[in-house]
């Protein structure tokens, strides 16, 4: 049981890291391109734009659109 719990914790850490990397890539694309948010979502591995927007906001405190507006001023 302890081993299963360890594997579960490891999997959760790996998932968090994967999400963090996706968001970082999305941030970079939002800052440096004019690619539409839905396309960026797909480029970083999200099939659902709404889910991407929620994940992005959770990590950055801003929607992808708001983030881009502020970064490109």
Alpha-carbon dihedral angle through residues 38, 28, 21, 63, given to the nearest 10 degrees? -50
State the pLDDT at residue 6: 66
Residues of the chain with pLDDT under 70: 1-6
State the pLDDT at residue 10: 86
Specify the pTM: 0.84
State the pLDDT at residue 73: 79
State the pLDDT at residue 4: 67
Q: Judging by beta carbons within 10 Å of its beta carbon (0-12, 13-18, 19+), is residue 43 exposed, middle or buried?
A: middle
């Amino acid at each position: 049981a302890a081993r299963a719990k360890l594997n579960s914790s490891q999997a959760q850490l790996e998932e968090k890291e994967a999400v963090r990397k996706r968001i970082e890539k999305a941030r970079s694309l939002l800052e440096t391109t004019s690619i539409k948010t839905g396309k960026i979502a797909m480029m970083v591995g999200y099939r659902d734009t709404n889910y991407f927007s929620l994940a992005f906001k959770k990590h950055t405190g801003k929607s992808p659109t708001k983030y881009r507006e502020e970064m490109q001023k």
